[in-house]
Amino acid sequence: MLEFPRWKYLLVGLVLLLALVFALPNFFGTDPALQVVRKNRLPMDDFARTAVEQVLTGHADAFRGSYIDDGKLIVRFASVADQLKARDSVNENLAADYVSALTTASRAPAVLRRFGLRPMPLGLDLRGGLYLLYQVDVNGAVAQLLDSYDQGFRRTLAAANLPFTDINAYTGSKSSIPNALRVILPPGADIGAVRDALRKANPDLSFSIGSGETGPTIEMEMSPTQVKVRQDYALQKNITTLRNRVNELGVSEPIVAQQGIDRINVQLPGVQNSAEVKDILGKVATLEFRLEDSQHSAIEAKQLGRAPLGSKLYDMDGRPVLLKRELIATGDQLTNATSSAGNEGPEVNVTLNGQGGDSMLRATRLNVKKRMAVVYIEKSRETRMVGGQKTTHDVTTEKIISLATIQSVLSNQFRITGLTAVEARELALLMRSGSLSAPIFAVEERTIGPSLGAENIRMGVRALLIGMLAVFAFMALYYQRFGWVANLVLLANVVLLTALLSMMRATLSLPGIAGIILTVGIAVDANVLIYERIREELRNGVSPQAAIRAGFEKAFSAILDSNVTAFIAGLVLWVIGRGAIRGFAVVLTLGIATSMFTALMGSRALITLMYGGRRKIERLSIG
């Protein structure tokens, strides 16, 4: 007689039951929905939920229901038209306190959501939205680091009363020694003392002494390892900043990930207003706080075409302004920024970290009644036609947005005025989310409409159903009753795979659907190996029950070998691949694991139930 331990029956039954429960939310479908979050990042509560619902009800927006999920308010609608109308209502009436984003919500009962059961999130190609691919200027990150060294060395030499003519940063081909700083000293300067002071300030740089047109020079070079570390840091910092900016925009389930060596892939499901989003995400903007140079004439500097040593020349509303080169604080030292309406109009309330607050305290304590400027710096890339050919230029725009008299000593909290409401809101968002460590430039952009995403879902599901029905028909006709067992096991495999993807919150995309279809073929292949082995045993005159036992035992090695090789390939793609390749690999790898379980455990459990209790079997219905 065939035997199958009871604990294995229980294991198969329990696994399939849990799989059905976790996969259940995927079979209810989704509704168009609106996600609403607070601008101050606090979780939504019943009071906020009531306020949003009152606005929607007052503007005749029909909604099916709402619930709070992970601190976010989700409002469901019957149609996309109602969803868009509701978004406009929230943006018009609650824009000061809330941020809304288009999304989708499952129709699954609340009891499933209460137990944390969620359907698989859909990728951009199935849901629609905005796809952006950014190129990171990693060399620009090195230049920014050299600029920060420049400021630090100026303060070090000034504090040590060591004279110097100027400090310049060079990158790439601009210097005989790339990625270096050059300190120009006056004739007769104490080179050894200057070098020791600079080396104490930054011992990681390599120092060399040379001579220039006006006097001796000291060059400080970054090593290739330091350059690579800075470039990698800039890439990861930009990813973090872009994620923060996306969160500030309230986008539902975004994807921000590295692609290749120096690119960032941004996927924003449900987003269609690409112009506004691109303007916020791609801005390489930061702030600098500098004191005005009142000892020199800005008009004279403009006429000469150069600023005095230690100063920089700016233009503010058509008039020249001289600012000191030494920085008081930068955007990197900001910890929070909020926009509000003050007595002098729109304003941005700024909070600095400890280092920035100490620097602001020292600078303002010594310069009360003098003027301090807030400089807004933005970098962009422009394409121009030169000689009939397109050329790309990096453009840096520096604008003084505020030049005010220091009325009292400031510390880590103060406000910036002189902005419009839109400028204040955008500046606060950029400052809260952090500045980019290196310029980024969009190299690819795709907008996928929701109707196209829905069509992709229909075609993908149709392909899966047609493929499964064709396999079901073949197995039923060719292997008869055993073929129906394989079909049930195959259906259980799809449910189990869906449950795993839902538990892992893995994003399903078109390549993922292709992976599911391929998994169906792999799962059938395992059953075919078992059934053909059973047939072979029957042809050799073995009894039906012994043939079944031998079929499972002797086919195991072939099934294991074929699946292990495919599993290794899928695992490598999962670890190394990015984007669509990784989405396919995730489904393929999990599908191989589930097909092994269902083919070896599930199929044997069903066949043992069918034939294990019989003492004598005349023949097997296996074709």
Say what the pLDDT of residue 370 is.
87
The values of phi and psi at residue 119, to 5°, are -75, 165
Q: Is residue 239 included in any domain, yes or no?
A: no
Please give the single-letter amino acid code of residue 567: F
Kindly state whether residues 398 and 534 are assigned to the same domain: no
| Tokens read off for 464 | 């899966």
Mean pLDDT score, 265-271? 78
Q: Which of 136-140, 375-379, 381-385, 406-410 has the lowest mean pLDDT?
A: 381-385
SS3 readout for 389-430: EEEEEEEEEEEEEEEEECCCCCCCEEEECCCCHHHHHHHHHH
Say what the pLDDT of residue 339 is.
78
Q: Is the pLDDT of residue 60 over 70?
A: no
Kindly state whether residues 43 and 17 are assigned to the same domain: no
Is 232 in a helix, a strand, or coil? helix
- The rounded mean pLDDT for the chain is 81
Where does a domain end: 409, 434, 459? 434
Q: Is residue 245 included in any domain, yes or no?
A: no
Kindly state whether residues 576 and 458 are assigned to the same domain: yes
Between 463 and 276, the more confident residue is 463
| Tokens read off for 138 | 């990693």
Q: Is the pLDDT of residue 496 over 90?
A: yes
Say what the pLDDT of residue 613 is.
66
Say what the pLDDT of residue 549 is.
84
Say what the pLDDT of residue 270 is.
66
Q: Is residue 339 included in any domain, yes or no?
A: yes
Kindly state whether residues 18 and 42 are assigned to the same domain: no
Q: Is residue 233 included in any domain, yes or no?
A: no
- Rounded-to-integer distance, Cα 540 and Cα 533, Å: 11
Q: Which domain holds residue 170?
A: 138-225
Split at pLDDT 50, 70, 90, the class of 19 is very high
Looking only at Cα atoms, what is the longest distance across the chain?
Answer: 111
pLDDT in tens, 538-556: 888 888 888 888 888 888 8
Nearest to 490 by CA among 513, 468, 470, 473: 468
Count how many domains the chain has: 4
Q: Based on the number of CB atoms within 10 Å of its own CB, is 616 exposed (0-12), middle (13-18) or buried (19 or more)?
A: exposed
Say what the pLDDT of residue 451 is.
65
Mean pLDDT score, 64-75? 85
Say what the pLDDT of residue 173 is.
46
pLDDT in tens, 161-172: 888 888 877 765
User: Which CB contacts under 8 angstroms, 24+ apart, belong to 553-558?
Assistant: 555/529, 555/530, 556/600, 558/529
Question: What helix, strand, coil percent values describe the chain, rounded to 5?
Answer: 50, 25, 25
Nearest to 148 by CA among 288, 44, 311, 36: 288
Instruction: State what percent of residues in the chain have pLDDT above 70.
Output: 88
Kindly state whether residues 465 and 427 are assigned to the same domain: no
Kindly state whether residues 483 and 578 are assigned to the same domain: yes
Q: Which of 292-306, 378-392, 530-544, 568-582 has the lowest mean pLDDT?
A: 378-392
Q: Is residue 232 included in any domain, yes or no?
A: no
Q: Residues 482, 547: contact at Cβ < 8 Å?
A: no
Q: Residues 119, 106: contact at Cβ < 8 Å?
A: yes
Stated pTM of the model = 0.64
- Rounded-to-integer distance, Cα 338 and Cα 133, Å: 29
Nearest to 246 by CA among 264, 219, 233, 228: 264
Q: Is residue 156 included in any domain, yes or no?
A: yes
Give me the CATH number covering residue 52: 3.30.70.260
Contacts with 511 (C-beta within 8 Å, 6 or more apart), sequence order:
580, 581, 583, 584, 587
Nearest to 371 by CA among 298, 337, 336, 322: 322
Q: Is the pLDDT of residue 291 over 50?
A: yes
Kindly state whether residues 100 and 184 are assigned to the same domain: no
- How far is residue 240 CA from its own chain's centroid? 7
Between 537 and 439, the more confident residue is 537
Q: How many CB atoms lie within 10 A of CB 360?
A: 24
Say what the pLDDT of residue 174 is.
47
Q: Is residue 254 included in any domain, yes or no?
A: no
Q: Based on the number of CB atoms within 10 Å of its own CB, is 490 exposed (0-12), middle (13-18) or buried (19 or more)?
A: buried
The residue whose two tokens read 């600078």 is 363
Say what the pLDDT of residue 17 is.
93
Kindly state whether residues 373 and 488 are assigned to the same domain: no
Q: Based on the number of CB atoms within 10 Å of its own CB, is 541 exposed (0-12), middle (13-18) or buried (19 or more)?
A: exposed
Q: Is the pLDDT of residue 191 over 90?
A: no
pLDDT in tens, 102-160: 777 888 888 888 888 888 887 777 777 788 888 888 887 788 788 778 878 888 888 88
Q: Is the pLDDT of residue 517 over 60?
A: yes
Give me the CATH number covering residue 316: 3.30.1360.200
pLDDT in tens, 561-616: 888 888 898 888 888 876 678 888 888 899 998 988 888 888 888 888 887 766 67
Kindly state whether residues 420 and 309 are assigned to the same domain: yes
Mean pLDDT score, 458-484? 87
Kindly state whether residues 472 and 535 are assigned to the same domain: yes
Mean pLDDT score, 280-292? 75
Kindly state whether residues 220 and 335 are assigned to the same domain: no
Q: Is residue 262 included in any domain, yes or no?
A: no
Is 36 in a helix, a strand, or coil? strand
Nearest to 40 by CA among 260, 281, 339: 339
Kindly state whether residues 314 and 407 are assigned to the same domain: yes
Q: Is the pLDDT of residue 14 over 90?
A: yes
Residue 311 pairs with which residues in a beta bridge?
A: 324
pLDDT in tens, 429-457: 766 666 676 777 778 877 776 666 677 77
Give me the CATH number covering residue 515: 1.20.1640.10
Give me the CATH number covering residue 155: 3.30.70
Say what the pLDDT of residue 442 is.
78
The residue whose two tokens read 């002494």 is 209
Split at pLDDT 50, 70, 90, the class of 380 is low
